[in-house]
Structure 1
Amino acid sequence: MAKRRKTSSSASSRSKRGKIDPFDESLLAEIQNIPLRFAAQDRYLNYSLSVITSRALPDVRDGLKPVQRRILYTMSQQRLDATAKHRKCAKVVGDVMGNYHPHGDSSIYEALVRMSQPFSLRAPMIDGSGNFGSIDGDNAAAMRYTECRMTPIASEVLADLASRTVAFKPNYDGTREEPVVLPSRVPSLLVNGATGIAVGMATNIPPHNLKEVCNALLKLLGNPEIKDYQLVAGDAIQGPDFPTGGHITNTKEELREIYATGTGTIKLRGVAEVAEKSRTGDTLRITEIPFGVNKAAMVERIAELVYSSKLPLVQEVRDLSTEDIRVDLLLKKNADADKVLAYLYKHTPLQTNFNVNL
């Protein structure tokens, strides 16, 4: 049994005068016995709701988590639109932490960095200047070295905010107001997707093509009774559209089932083809990799297979990527490129699964 102390005027007056004596027998009358499971359930529910709504999961209305929403709102207050001069990220992070998001500066900066990475978001909300990390897993430079401003599409997320089109609420210390949700004109929850693990709840939404989503919205306006899953897989929305490209091997029926039920697995492959042919051997070139795959780790895995003679049809691996992905595999003479690809799909991250949870 858990014991809950009743609140009373006498107890409150004693607490104001000084410390409460735990051996005071008069306090026994103010103790209430309740089952432990009820006390734990009540407290854990409050904790889980706080994590779900205030940290881990996005709001379906603007597709943003609280920290992302506060970053964009702070940047709009600083007038950091797409035409403004870049400003130090440390200034933005400091204002977000001091005014709206009382958490660590590192978590705020990590969210800001991800919102600027074109390999993480289909439509980045922040235009970064400086080192903001890479698809090879390199970390961004410290916030005192990097600068940022909003992208044009982020301005559409904040449009009409000055007209008080959304509700506002006090910030954590009641000194300012912040929007409950942004009046977004962009369906960013579908365009950029979302990944979050809360307490008892989680989500993993794949990104989609903005033009296809808009076509689906037009069809939905024309026929409000249409079923959501009837808009996908060959209709307005072809399927997920990942920022790093790749090829989805699921059938149309499988994709419709995923959207109809809200759960399922998307099988994603990198894109490779024979780019050069020579007498000594062809060159198999990888130009797209699955979403979320660390390119450097993938190349290292392929090289490990080659140099351990588990992939004897390949004689050398070269990572020639710049802004675009280009990984060349020099094949041995008369090697079958299709066999090499099949082996890579099975034994390397060139093929992965994206577990959808809508």
Structure 2
Amino acid sequence: SFGANMVALDYGRPAQMNLKQMLEAFIAFREIVVARRTKFELNKARDRAHVLVGLAIAVANIDEVIALIRSAPDPATARAQLMERHWPAKDITPIVELIDDPRHKIAEDGTYRLSETQARAILDLRLQRLTALGRDEIGDEVRELGEKIADYLEILRSRDRILTIIRDELGAIRDEFATPRRTEIMEAADDVEDEDLIQREDMVVTVSHQGYIKRVPLSTYRAQRRGGKGRSGMSTKDEDFVARIFVASTHSPVLFFSSTGMVYKMKVWRLPQATPQSKGKAMVNLLPLKSGERITSVMPLPEDEKSWNALDIMFATRSGNVRRNKLSDFVQINRNGKIAMKLDEGDGIVGVQICTENDDVLLTNAGGRCIRFPVTDVRVFSSRNSTGVRGVKLDGEDQTISMTILNHLDVTPAEARAYLKQAALARRAATGEEVEESSELLDEEDDGEITTLSPERYAELGAHEQFVLTVSVKGYGKRSSSFEYRTSGRGGKGIIAMAVSQRNGQLIASFPVEEQDEIMLVTDGGQLIRCPVNDIRVAGRSTQGVTIFRTDKEEQVVSVEHLGDSSEEE
């Protein structure tokens, strides 16, 4: 069923009708249309028959008509004499009666007087119409018009005939323009869920620091060049700011990890949809959060839950701890949530990502250092109550700000140095720009060995190379090759990820990107910018980077989101 506005103008007056009244009004309108059309056709047929009757009179009295015309000094005189004379009707009487036109009257003495229209038609008559064939054509046309006139009169006298015409015309319209039903209506084996009616669409999910959440269609945001001022991404209060954004399909499940170590699950389409300027809806009204509990991390998951058995999930906390579980441990999450990870007081989850045993974990700290180690260095935990194991050793009040999953490949430091040097030369030749080479390719454990890569090995390393984008709170960032980040054992202090200075500020995000991708940056003032990754240069791991977002003096970047291939969004 569907709603319809049943207010209509009935003979110029507005009225609210039900379906029966609407149909009755339509039928009454069609009756008026058919009656008016029939009257028009009747008058048109009578006008033509009127002329033909005059021609028939002339043909029946052809000798007298020709003599009168020949003796007349001019056409006007001939026309007047034709109209003044009483012409014998002869065998025209049945035709006049058949036409049934009030203008066609035969006098009691069997004579007929011509009208001006008839007289003019006689004067315009061509001689070929005087032949026997011409006279028969006139008679046939008159009889045909007579039958039509009789039919028109019958239609006007009978409402049943009018309704029959309406029915036949509607049937003809249906046969000509109707299209067969394309949707097959069948009984479903199960009840239709609300989710089955939701269209798949990419959404930008925005979460504020005070726990407001909303979703906005990704198509709402247009791409800009780096260094732009952006557009308003969320209207916030003075004490609130945008803390997290991500892009996911409307059918994607999302896990919400809380400050107490609980996890909740909800589909994206269930989140409130709003405009880019609105603040959204408080998550406390969407999730059963307890007093003092807040959401600290949000993770979108693959739509197909059956594939979760073959995947692992890696947790990372601000204190530098990591833990690995099977993703299937989080398939069944009821409305009230379930325990995800045991957390120490003051700690929180900074990253939750899907991984396999063929991956590496890259932890990045706000102080500018990072560490990379294989996923297999972290055993699979069967319990969800554990705090995990140490992933990186932190100094002082430093904390982990991001966790990235990278592809694992066995590469020696010498091979990494040789590849990075050769790749930098290749980029310089391709773009003509000055490409800054890394100044920290050697670490304390490297022996400085020089090697030459074969074309096959160079191509293999190029196929596995990833670029890690690192962004600071002041809007500066750079891309670095994944081979800049050597693999070591977990639990160490790691190596420099990006130079932290008064200009840059501390780090806020670090994740792998592709050349054709786009990123979205959000500040604590609610400003948002979307820019292509290829605007950000490739630089060494320990460099300061370039300006991505020109933030105001008191403004800082609080979240950076990876949008994927920008060409698919145009």
Tell me the TM-score range normalised by the shorter chain.
under 0.3
TM-score normalised per structure 1: 0.24
Higher strand share goes to which structure?
Answer: 2
Over alpha carbons, which structure has the higher Rg? 2
TM-score, reference length from structure 2: 0.17
